[in-house]
Amino acid sequence: MMQAKPLLSRVADSVYWMARYIERAENVARFIDVNHNLTLDLPQGYLDQWQPIVDTTGDRAIFLERYGHATQDSVMRFLAFDPENPNSIYSCVLAARENARSVRETISSEMWQQINTLYLLITSESRKSVPSSLPDFCQSVRMACHLFQGITDVTMSHNEAWHFIRLGRKLERADKTTRMLDVKYFILLPTVADVGTPYDDIQWTAVLKSVSGFEMYRKRYGRISPDRIVEFLLLDGEFPRALRYCIGLADQSLHAITGTPPGAFSCATEQRMGLLRSELDFTHVESILAHGLHEFFDALQLKMNTIDEYVRSDFFGQKALAAGAA
């Protein structure tokens, strides 16, 4: 039997980032869409809903510098089309396409065509002086990203490059789900004034909807409760956007790449990923909450950054920055 073709480090790097950027674009579109939907349900001036979603993407400083006050228009422009914002949908899709372009011989033609279709959609939308319907736009970005993912899974051999794609996608998704929860949880903890009002429920429902998790949560837990939502989004083993589920699949892909059996490790990435995976496999949400959710998120962010850095040094031939890797 012929041996599988080895994968160039540069190509692994590009497909990994291609997947991350597509996933990021999809998540930003989700945030915008749900937030927009939420503002329609709340009384005017009820809560400043737009600043938090800028915080979710982690670009508060650039935003304040470029726009100052967060309004629907400014946030939407910033998150959807601003080429100066490296995490806008526009920038993400461009970056994903540049990466895809450099590995066109590795990915399938269908994948390239879909990423290109998405690129044409974004560039034509971003040229319009008046953006067309916001929900429609977010919906088409989301669907285009889903389609890309589906095409990836059914047209590309599930080889080493595909596992780098899945690794990138799952790490990015884990990051976005937790960031979103981090920002919303503290804003939405019930205040005395809100307890018992319908707005409490509406806002938590919006959190779930932004990760397409509302229906699945209902089936699992029924009533809306902040602690159960935290448990669902962090520790569920079946919901595809939950942290634990994502890390589990990322870990599987990592082992498929290295060929190391599950439960063992052959490089720093695998060791760190394994540690994180077992932590999530064997913890209770109660203990996370008791130690403080914020502390949990800070530690998690550090672990995920470390994993990303080790991926670069173990597979892409780049020197580890080492700072966060302690």
Partner 1 sequence: MQFSSYQTEDFYDEMFEDDGRCRPHVQLVMEVIQSLSDGQLLRYKHSAERLLLQLGITFNVYGDTAGTERIFPFDLIPRVIPAGEWDRIERGLKQRVHALNAFIDDIYHDQKILKDGAIPADVVTSAVSYRKQCHGLNPPWRVWCHITGTDLVRDRDGCYYVLEDNLRVPSGVSYVLENREVLKRIFPRVFEGLPVRPVNDYTSRLLEMLESIAPHPTGSPRVVVLTPGIYNSAYFEHSFLAQQMGVQLVEGRDLVVQSGDVFMRTTKGLERVDVIYRRVDDDFLDPEAFRPDSLLGVPGLMEVYRAGRVALANAPGNGVADDKVIYAYVPEMIRYYEGADAILPNVPTYLCWRDADRKYVLEHLNGLVVKSANESGGYGMLVGPHSTREQQEEFAVKIRDNPRNFIAQPTLALSRVPTIVEDHFEGRHVDLRPYVLCGKEIFVLPGGLTRVAMRKGSLVVNSSQGGGSKDTWVLAESANVPMGGQQQQS
* Residue numbers at the binding site for partner 1 (CB under 8 A): 2, 5-12, 98, 101-106, 109, 112-113, 116-117, 120, 160, 164, 257, 315-317
* Closest distance of CB 8 from partner 1, Å: 5
Task: Identify whether the C-beta of residue 36 lies closer than 8 Å to the C-beta of residue 72.
Answer: yes
Q: Is 326 exposed, middle or buried (0-12, 13-18, 19+ CB in 10 A)?
A: exposed
| Pick 72 or 313: Cβ nearer partner 1 | 313
CB of 95 to partner 1, least distance (A): 13
Closer of 8 and 230 to partner 1 (Cβ): 8
Residue type, 126: S
Integer Cα distance of 120 and 20 in angstroms: 19
Q: Which is nearer to partner 1, 262 or 317 (CB)?
A: 317
Q: Cα–Cα distances in Å, from 326 out to 25, 298, 307?
A: 30, 14, 11
Measured from the CB of residue 2, what is the shortest distance to partner 1 in angstroms?
7
Q: Whose CA is closest to 203, among 218, 192, 189?
A: 189
In sign, the C-alpha dihedral spanning 125, 179, 12, 142 is: negative
Rounded CA separation 31/22 (Å): 14
Provide the minimum distance between the beta carbon of 116 and partner 1 in the complex, in angstroms, as a whole number: 4
The whole-angstrom separation of Cα 35 and Cα 42 is 11
In angstroms, give the least distance from the CB of 169 to partner 1.
17
Of 185 and 315, which CB lies nearer to partner 1 in the complex structure? Answer: 315
Between 145 and 233, whose beta carbon lies closer to partner 1? 145
Nearest CB to partner 1, comparing residues 72 and 102: 102
Q: How far is the CB of 129 from partner 1 (least distance, A)?
A: 19
Nearest distance, CB of residue 181 and partner 1, angstroms: 33
Q: Quickly count: other Cβ atoms within 10 Å of residue 142's Cβ.
A: 18
Q: What is the DSSP string of 29-49?
A: HHHHHHHHHHHHHSPTTSS--
Q: Which is nearer to partner 1, 113 or 225 (by Cβ)?
A: 113
> CA distances (Å), 62 to each of 68, 84, 115, 206, 226, in order?
9, 9, 27, 26, 31
CB half-sphere exposure, 273, CA atoms < 13 A: 30
